[in-house]
Structure formats: structure tokens, C-alpha cells
Amino acid sequence: MDKKKRRLISRTIILLLLGAALVFALYTNFTKDKNDSLGKGSDAPNFVLTDMKGNEHKLSDYKGKGVFLNFWGTYCKPCEYEMPYMEHQYQNYKDQGVEVLAVNVGESDYAVDNFITKHDLTFPVMIDQGREVENAYRVDILPVTFLIDKEGKVIDIITGALTEESIQKHMERIKP
């Protein structure tokens, strides 16, 4: 009788382990695409970049403030689409503790300057010349926006163009 019980227990344990491995395999397969990007709730990787006006911006200096971190390129239509809305909402929220940082994915000063002039952007725009920040944030598709709260945590990642309404909603979420 005892022997039988022991056998049942060992069988149960082995099957549970194998079942868990199988579930793990299926689960990771489903979340494979997300695995490669930065997870929600993780610490936003720190970086330092100089904007077009020559001011240095270090992410860790913005602790206590919400950061609306946007990656973009001049050739990317949806990026261009959301820029005016970002500018508009920046005006509303800059005094409420939300900072907008727009990181260009390594284009020329010429292209970025032209773009700023064209859209009258006042928030800090910086060029990630060495693609290092892009690598750290594992940027794949443009535009992508990282919502960073006052603790320096990434609370959400949004790919694709944003409407003015959704930008406002997101700013609300990271407002300290």
C-alpha cells in the first residue's frame, strides 16, 4: 500500500514538472514578440543626450516628473502626424510636471533642424547619433512612445501614431 502511494506521488510530481515545462514552452512562444521589448513596469534605462539647443538631458534628472519619451524620424509619416499634438499638449502639461523628450533615430542635424522649424517644436529634441538609446529601449517600429512615471518606471509603451486626445490621456497618467 505504501509503495503504491509513493509511486502515485512520484508520478504526480514528474507529470506536474513536465506539464509545467510544456506550459512554459507554449507561454513563452506566445509572448515571444514582447520578450524582445522592454517590459511594462521595468525601470526605464537611463540615458543622456544633448538637444538641438545644446542642453544636456539626463533621464535620471527628471525623477519626480513624468517623462513622455518619444522616438521618431523625419521620414516617418505617423511621427510627423503626432508632432503638432505633442507640441500642443506639451504646452499644457509642462507646468504640471510632465516633460516631453523626442529622440530622433540618428538622422542628420540638417534634417532634424528643418523638421523643428517646420513644426515649431519647443520641447527638447535630441539626436541619438550612436543608436545607443534606441538599443537600450529596444526600439523596433516608429513612432514609439514610452510613458515614464515619476519613479522612473515605464508604465506603458505605445507604438503607432497618437491622436491629441490619447496624448492628453497619457500625459494625465504620468502626471506626478
Partner 1 sequence: MKEVKCDCGHVNPFGTKICGKCGMDLGSEQENKLIDMRYEGSARRSQTYRKTVIDKIWNFFSSVKVGVTLIVIALVASAIGTILPQEMYIPSTVTPAEHYESEYGWFGKVYYELGFHNLYSSWWYLLIIGMLGISLLVASIDRFFPLYRSLKKQGVIRHDGFMKRQRIYGVTKLDEQDIDLDKVKTELKRQRYHIREEKGHILAEKNRFSRWGPYVNHIGLIIFLIGALLRSVPGMYIDKVVWLREGERKEIPGTNGEYYLKNNEFTLEVYDKGNKEDQQYTAAIDKTGTIAKTYQSDVTLYERKGEAIPGEKVGLEKVKDYKIKVNEPLKHDHYALYQVDYKLDELSTMSFNLINKKTNEKFGGVKIDLNDPKKNYQLNKGYSVDLISYFPDFEFDEKGEPRTISKIPNNPAFIFKMHTPDKPEGEVSFVAIKETAEPLGENTYKMAFNGVETQDVTALTVRKDLTLWILFTGGIIFMVGVVQGSYWNHRRIWIKRKQDEIVMAGHTNKNWHGIKRDIKKAIESTSLSEPKDQLEEEKSSTKGEALNG
Least Å distance between CB 4 and partner 1?
7
Q: How far apart are CA 73 and CA 87, in angstroms?
A: 16
Least Å distance between CB 112 and partner 1?
11
Q: Which residue has the cell 505617423?
A: 78
Q: Return the number of other C-beta atoms located less than 10 Å from residue 164's C-beta.
A: 13
Q: Residue numbers of the site for partner 1 (CB under 8 A)?
A: 4, 7-8, 11-12, 14-15, 18-19, 21-22, 24-26, 28-30, 32, 35, 45-49, 58, 73-75, 77, 105-111, 113-114, 128, 130-133, 135-136
* Short-list 56, 55, 80, 85, CA closest to 68: 85
- Closest to partner 1 by CB, 107 or 168: 107
Least Å distance between CB 156 and partner 1?
20
- Closest to partner 1 by CB, 97 or 106: 106
Least Å distance between CB 168 and partner 1?
28
- Closest to partner 1 by CB, 50 or 92: 50
CB-based burial label for 173 (10 Å; 0-12, 13-18, 19+): middle
Specify whether the CB–CB gap between 137 and 49 falls below 8 A: no
